[in-house]
């Protein structure tokens, strides 16, 4: 058994990028995918690809490898059924874009696994292993869930994220989904609406599209089935975010129609963007959390809500930047 053995189920963009980044960091990696195209691309890149998911999971169970699910939300139940059969007590994580539905499925399907959810906030609009990159996660936030009792597995998952050159943001599944609705899922829907409104302007409008339209619609080029899965899987939180957005758009329309100004909307957005830029800047505060403490995950949960990031692990201590 090695803490640095990884089994990646699903070798598309995210799974393939994790596999490559982990290999570069010295992990022993095996993978499995139903895609013949991804199988060929992964094998060519040096990933040990097993003939099927069941074989990969049996070998992962024998080695107590960390199993990472990198499949769409719609495929999670089926894959967990295979996990239940072949690796029912494994160390398990995932990179699915919503966390509460995955956590519920894990509890229902494989209650004995040692599960810690994860979600790297990185990607491109191009699917498949051929689009992957070992550098995809460099500097990116990687949420590692702090809901369960598995402190040792939390350290393993956080270590994987850090080895992929991400920074770790500790968060509960519920907190993650509420935040992701606003900064990931809502932008996908707004991009889809913006793209459609632009297209409705006809050939001239599309010919004039420049930076703001290109930037605002970039994620509208993502595979529709993947966007649907993450948005519909986070329905409750996304409805709340949509209500907020629609209220703000309605206020902008009302102000423009009645008084001819959108000053309040533009000013609020400008300040919010400044706040976002400031939040992404390196923090000037630092502390350590003892991961062997019985209250370690609770402390990390509190710090995560403040926007703190784990930047390194030093034995049983996590280096946290505020």
Residue 1's pLDDT is 41
The lowest-confidence range among 35-39, 75-79, 287-291 is: 35-39
List of E strands, the chain: 5-9, 28-32, 48-49, 66-69, 91-94, 114-115, 118-120, 141-145, 167-171, 286-290, 309-314, 317-321
| Kind of pairing between the strands at 5-9 and 28-32 | parallel
**Residues 57/9, Cβ–Cβ less than 8 Å:** yes
Task: Give the confidence band of 297 by pLDDT, cuts at 50, 70, 90.
Answer: very high
Mean pLDDT, residues 139-151:
95
- Per-residue pLDDT at 129: 66
**Which burial class, exposed, middle or buried, applies to 143 when counting CB atoms under 10 A from its CB (0-12, 13-18, 19+)?**
buried
The confidence score (pLDDT) of residue 30 equals 95
What pLDDT shows up at residue 124? 66
C-beta atoms surrounding 116 within 10 Å:
27
- Nearest Cα to Cα of residue 39 among 123, 124, 128, 126: 128
Backbone angles phi, psi at 314, to 5 degrees: -120, 90
What ranges do the domains of the chain cover? 5-171+283-321, 177-280
Confidence of residue 125 (pLDDT cuts 50, 70, 90): low
How high is the pLDDT of residue 249? 98
283 secondary structure, DSSP code: P
232-267 per-residue burial string, b: 16 or more CB within 10 A, e: under 16: ebbeebbeebbeebeeeeeebeeeeeeeeeeeebee
Q: What is the mean pLDDT of residues 52-66?
A: 96
Better pLDDT: 39 or 118:
118
Structure tokens at 14: 């995210």
The full DSSP string for 233-252 is: HTHHHHHHHHHHHHHHHHHH
Q: What is the pLDDT of residue 123?
A: 73
Average pLDDT, the chain: 94
pLDDT tens by residue, 72-96: 999 999 999 999 999 999 999 999 9
CATH of domain 5-171+283-321: 3.40.50.720
Residue 54 falls in which region: left (phi positive, over 0), alpha (psi -120 to 50) or beta: alpha
CA nearest to 16, candidates 121, 95, 115: 95
**What is the percent of the chain with per-residue pLDDT over 90, rounded to a whole number?**
86
For residue 321, CA distances in Å to 281, 298, 312 come to 11, 17, 9
Mean pLDDT confidence for 196-224: 96
Q: Which CATH architecture has domain 177-280?
A: Orthogonal Bundle (1.10)
- Residue 286 pLDDT level (bands cut at 50, 70, 90): very high
Three-state DSSP class for residue 196: helix
Instruction: Please check the confidence at residue 127 and state whether its pLDDT lies above 60.
Output: no
Residue 280: pLDDT band with limits 50, 70, 90: confident
Whether residue 275 has pLDDT greater than 50? yes
Report the range of poorest mean pLDDT among 32-41, 71-80, 137-146, 206-215.
32-41
Q: Once rounded to an integer, what is the mean pLDDT over residues 29-50?
A: 90
Strand partners, 94: 69
H or E element, residue 39: helix 36-44
* Range in 26-40, 161-175, 181-195 the model is least confident about: 26-40
DSSP states along 67-119 = EEE-S-GGGHHHHHHHHHHH-TT-EEEE--S-SHHHHHHHHHH-TTSEE--EE
CB atoms within 10 A of CB 137: 24
181-193 pLDDT, tens digit per residue, is: 999 999 999 999 9
Question: What's the pLDDT score for residue 283?
Answer: 74
């Amino acid at each position: 058994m090695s803490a640095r053995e990884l089994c990646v189920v699903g070798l598309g963009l995210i799974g393939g990028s994790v596999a490559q980044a982990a290999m570069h960091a010295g992990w022993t990696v095996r993978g499995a995918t139903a895609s013949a195209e991804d199988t060929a691309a992964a094998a060519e890149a040096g990933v040990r690809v097993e003939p099927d998911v069941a074989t990969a999971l049996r070998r992962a169970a024998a080695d107590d490898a960390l199993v990472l699910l990198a499949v769409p939300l719609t495929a999670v139940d089926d894959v967990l059924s295979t996990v239940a059969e072949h690796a029912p007590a494994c160390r398990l994580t995932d990179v699915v874009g919503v966390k509460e539905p995955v956590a519920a499925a894990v509890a229902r399907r494989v209650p004995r696994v040692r599960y810690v959810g994860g979600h790297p906030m990185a990607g491109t609009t191009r699917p498949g292993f051929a689009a992957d990159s070992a550098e995809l996660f460099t500097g990116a936030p990687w949420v590692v869930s702090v809901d369960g009792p598995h402190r040792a597995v939390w350290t393993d998952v956080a270590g994987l994220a850090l080895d992929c050159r991400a920074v770790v943001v500790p968060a509960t599944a519920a907190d993650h989904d509420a935040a992701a609705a606003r900064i990931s899922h809502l932008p996908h829907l707004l991009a889809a609406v913006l793209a459609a409104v632009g297209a409705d302007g006809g050939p001239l409008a599309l010919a004039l599209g420049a930076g703001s339209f290109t930037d605002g619609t970039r994620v509208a080029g993502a595979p529709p089935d993947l966007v649907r899965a993450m948005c519909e899987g986070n329905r409750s939180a996304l409805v709340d975010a949509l209500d907020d957005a629609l209220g703000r758009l309605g206020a902008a329309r009302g102000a423009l129609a009645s008084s001819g100004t959108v000053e309040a909307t533009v000013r609020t957005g400008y300040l919010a963007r400044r706040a976002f830029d400031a939040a992404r800047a390196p923090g000037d505060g630092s502390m350590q959390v003892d991961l062997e403490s019985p209250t370690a995950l609770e402390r990390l949960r509190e710090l995560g809500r403040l926007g703190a990031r784990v930047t390194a692990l030093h034995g049983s201590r996590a280096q946290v930047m505020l």
